[in-house]
Structure 1
Amino acid sequence: MAEFTRQRGKRQEDNGLGSVLDLLLANARLVLGVTGAAVLAIATLAVKRLIDRATSPRDEGDPKAEQKTLEESWPELALIKATPNPPPKQRREDLSEPLLSPARPPVPGPRVCPAPPETPRLESSPPRCLTLQEKLLSHYSNHLSVPEAQACLVLQLARSICAQLQNFLRNKCPELPFGSLFLSGPLLDGLRALTADHVHLMLPVVLDTALWSLIPGEDTVVRNPQYWMIKRTDLEYFPRGCSPWDRFIVGRYFSSNMLNETLHKLLVASINWPAIGSLLGSVIHPVVASQELKLEVKHDQVELSITLFPVVEMEDKILLAAPPEGLVENLWLESFYRAEVSALKELDAGDSGVRQCCLCILNNICKTYPALHKLAGSPLTHVILHLSAASTDWAEEDLADRFQQVLEELVGYLERGVLPSYFNHKINLFCELSEEEIDEMGFMLYRAVSEPELLLTEK
């Protein structure tokens, strides 16, 4: 009962204090105006809170109560100090005079030299938040450009090595009808390359079409439409030895693995790379442990990796000697790279589009994040080509929309675990990905769909 009475008396005191403050604020509105009264109200409210805490009873036995009260008062004190002084207003006795009264002549006083005018300070404006469109264009222009001098040096080195290797093969294996070596890759094919540190070296394998035929991928042992087999035909009439490539036959099929092993031995053991490197001012050595036919080139200004691919062109197919990992050694991988480059260029030329720009940005992102490495290259290209068939507007101002749409399409393909090739819908470009890899990619891209800017953050 006593506690109830004490609390009730406290509320009455608070009501009395509130009435006084309300009256004060009401009169202040007349004297100070709306702005001045608002400022006074803020300060008065802060003082009232201080008075409330000072008069409120503290819990007995709580040694931190006083400290807590003081700590809670710092915001109010800071509020009072930070409250700007209201502009001077006319006094109450001046309210009868017109607000716009004529200026009174100044009272003459001692002459004071005027102070020099202060130099105006330029306040730095806060940084402007960039849109996704601006971030993408900035990322493309600032982070994905290869210096022209570096690109020229890389191409010069690659062409010189290509010529040296061509001469060696003609002298060492004159019986094998290799075609003229040529360079390939984004740096050569007009696509804007991410870096100037990798070039493909294509080695044509010339076959007599009367002695060889292609077996579709669906009819091979792996049942994968992207892997073909090259079969030796008419052995009854044209026995072994009629074709210079018969030495690479395994079970009547041209073995891509056997050809690669022969070339690997030549690269590692037969070619005098130190002499060629000194001639070119570089250090060249083959990668012994790699299953790929790869050369590493170190120059004073650049480091270059060259990968050699034997390639067969038959029946409008481009087949690489790049069999899948495993015991199957007679398979040839169908390559769509040339068709991909041609399709992207034609589409962009037709509507001044930014498909190649979008692809370059996405490739860089996939190479930046290890979880997305296997999406770079052909998978991204085929997603953009599929999307181009549905969304025909690829102008520069729509880059952000198309970029986010590609991410959404990728998530959808990963959810299904199937990305059909643009040129052959029977081919699933995700067929060699594991469930764990698909889940990791899908989770990362699913998060990026709502915040695509996260992918542009440099790690």
Structure 2
Amino acid sequence: MNFQGSRRRGADGIAMVIDFLLSNARLILGVGGAAMLGIATLAVKRLIERAGRAADDEKVEQKMAELSLVSASPTLIKKGIKADLCQQPQMSSLESKPESKSKRLQLCVLSLQERLQQYYHTRAALTPNEVQRAQSQALDICTEIQGFLRSRLPDMPLGEMSLGGSLLDDLQVVSADHACLLVPLQLEASLWRLIPGEETLLTHPLHWMVRRVNLEYFPRGLSYWDRYLVGGYLSAEAVVNMFSKAVMETINWPSISSTLDCLVRPVLGGPDLKVEIRPGNEWAESSDQSLFISMLPLLREGDVVLTAQPELTSPWVNAWHLSLYPWETQRLTQLDTADDGHRRHTLKILKAVCRLNPALRPLQAAPLANLILHLSDSESDWSESSLHVRFQQCITELIGYLEQEALHSYFKPAVNLLSGLSEDQVDQMGFMLYCAVSEPEILLI
């Protein structure tokens, strides 16, 4: 009777029961209770697996003992030549198992610090060629759009277009698949005033408004942008709709595709202005990854950057989004420059972990950047040698923020960066991170 097989089936049955209880425990116990039950369950599963492996090891030892007894008798060797030849493939398979086992052991002996560095170089960081190729494609599109607008709408007061975002700031991870095309609008300082969100009826720190002023002295129509006024304010939604018709629906994209030797087409139907680039003949063999370029109309006044993003300010048609990304990126760079730290390095690892893990995917870059900024106020050692310590600390801090369902912006404390997450998403992320407290390597798979 095969007791080993029955023992394995019993272990599998227990594992199935445990998984069933575990999947339903979150509904009853919440994030904290389910996570603690999960950690305990992992320990029980390991005991079961170790017991199974011990039985397998005993069986292999018995076979090896029998083989050693056979090798001690020359007559038995002669009689068993044919049998040995027939069993040679099986013996080679037995010999290959220790080799694969040794490879697994080599991976297991890697420290968390070494695993993080390996993960950064193999999964998170982009190759220079990949970044250069994406930037080159984005610049080509930037040149084409700017040339079209200058010829089609020469009286539109626009600044010099440029690239922006994580691709330009060396903060993009996993793949170079998105970029931002910044389109600065030029407003007359005497005719327009930027009103902070706290001073508007919306009272939202990130929802600013742009008011038309001095109408009694400078009547409507003197400014090019007066045609996009709604209720005395410059409408971000009206500006986006104008660019959608003037650029996305008007440019001859097949002609641009043939010029750039790649497939270029607008992504229509959404609230944002987006162009998709698919590799042509030049890069078809190396990669089939699409590059998405978001066209972003914006206003600048000092260090304030307002963007026209209706998907972030809906349903307010007049609201402009205050972008905190430039402040956060600049602050991280300043801190790393001052102490030769690895905060940006840590941020890229966290971004890659969240992007590649389905349970953590709803967590965007902004909460992670603010997590590191908050942690930098209390922790001064961000050297490369302490990367594993800061990584584990980020996991612990993030669990605390998820339990409170609030992670306040570093520059705008009234803004909760976790407000867009659903309760189910918070539960799934909390459960995964709780399990990673004792086994941080599960996030690096």
Shorter chain as denominator, the TM-score bin is: 0.7 to 0.9
Shift, 1:219, TM fit: 3.4
Measured at CA, do residues 192 and 296 of structure 1 come closer, stay the same or move farther in structure 2, by a change above 3 Å?
Answer: closer
Counterpart secondary structure, 1:371: coil
Contact 1:287 1:293 in 2 (8 A): yes
TM-score (norm. length: structure 1):
0.70
1:375 aligns with 2:355: no
Contact 2:173 2:352 in 1 (8 A): no
Question: Is the helix fraction higher in 1 or 2?
Answer: 2
Match of 1:228 among 182, 186, 208: 208
What residue is the counterpart of 2:300 in the other structure? 313
Measured at CA, do residues 149 and 315 of structure 1 come closer, stay the same or move farther in structure 2, by a change above 3 Å?
Answer: closer
Equivalences for 1:115-194 in 2 at 5 Å? 127-128=105-106, 129-191=109-171, 193-194=173-174
1:414 aligns with 2:394: no
Q: Which has the higher contact order (CA 8 A, sep 6+)?
A: 2
Contact 1:198 1:306 in 2 (8 A): yes
Shift, 1:335, TM fit: 0.9
Contact 1:273 1:285 in 2 (8 A): yes
- Partner amino acid, structure 2, of 1:455: L
What residue is the counterpart of 1:203 in the other structure? 183
Deviations 1:129-164 (A, max 9, x none): 222111111001122232332322221111111011
State how many pairs are aligned: 347
Contact 2:313 2:319 in 1 (8 A): no
| Cα distance in 1 between the residues matched to 2:62 and 2:368 | 56
| Cα distance in 1 between the residues matched to 2:351 and 2:326 | 17
| Cα distance in 2 between the residues matched to 1:450 and 1:333 | 40
Counterpart secondary structure, 2:305: strand
Counterpart secondary structure, 1:241: coil
Deviations 1:420-448 (A, max 9, x none): 11122222222333333333322322222
What residue is the counterpart of 1:442 in the other structure? 430
Larger gyration radius, structure 1 or structure 2:
1
Contact 2:145 2:247 in 1 (8 A): no
Contact 1:192 1:356 in 2 (8 A): no
What residue is the counterpart of 2:221 in the other structure? 241
Aligned-pair Cα RMSD in Å = 2.5
| Cα distance in 2 between the residues matched to 1:436 and 1:243 | 48
* Worse-matched range after superposition: 247-256 or 141-150: 141-150
What residue is the counterpart of 2:10 in the other structure? none
- Please list every run of 5 or more consecutive structure 1 residues that lacks an aligned counterpart in the other structure: 1-73, 86-120
Shift, 1:387, TM fit: 0.5
Match of 1:425 among 413, 419, 423: 413
Equivalences for 1:12-161 in 2 at 5 Å? 78=62, 127-128=105-106, 129-161=109-141
| Cα distance in 1 between the residues matched to 2:360 and 2:197 | 27
- Partner amino acid, structure 2, of 1:444: M
| Cα distance in 2 between the residues matched to 1:291 and 1:261 | 9
What residue is the counterpart of 1:263 in the other structure? 243
Measured at CA, do residues 79 and 434 of structure 1 come closer, stay the same or move farther in structure 2, by a change above 3 Å?
Answer: closer
Counterpart secondary structure, 1:372: coil
| Cα distance in 2 between the residues matched to 1:374 and 1:215 | 31
| Cα distance in 1 between the residues matched to 2:203 and 2:359 | 28
Measured at CA, do residues 78 and 315 of structure 1 come closer, stay the same or move farther in structure 2, by a change above 3 Å?
Answer: closer
| Cα distance in 1 between the residues matched to 2:256 and 2:68 | 79
Shift, 1:382, TM fit: 0.8
| Cα distance in 1 between the residues matched to 2:268 and 2:65 | 74
Counterpart secondary structure, 1:405: helix
Match of 2:318 among 310, 327, 330: 330
Measured at CA, do residues 239 and 373 of structure 1 come closer, stay the same or move farther in structure 2, by a change above 3 Å?
Answer: farther
What residue is the counterpart of 1:213 in the other structure? 193
Deviations 1:192-230 (A, max 9, x none): 643222111110011112111122212334432111111
Measured at CA, do residues 432 and 188 of structure 1 come closer, stay the same or move farther in structure 2, by a change above 3 Å?
Answer: same
Match of 2:349 among 341, 357, 361: 361
Measured at CA, do residues 252 and 371 of structure 1 come closer, stay the same or move farther in structure 2, by a change above 3 Å?
Answer: farther
Counterpart secondary structure, 2:276: strand
Equivalences for 1:333-348 in 2 at 5 Å? 333-348=321-336
- Partner amino acid, structure 1, of 2:252: N
- Please list every run of 5 or more consecutive structure 2 residues that lacks an aligned counterpart in the other structure: 1-57, 70-94
Contact 1:285 1:296 in 2 (8 A): yes
| Cα distance in 2 between the residues matched to 1:220 and 1:449 | 43
Counterpart secondary structure, 1:359: helix
| Cα distance in 1 between the residues matched to 2:205 and 2:413 | 10
Contact 2:173 2:351 in 1 (8 A): no
- Partner amino acid, structure 1, of 2:428: E
Contact 1:194 1:360 in 2 (8 A): no
Aligned-residue identity in percent: 40
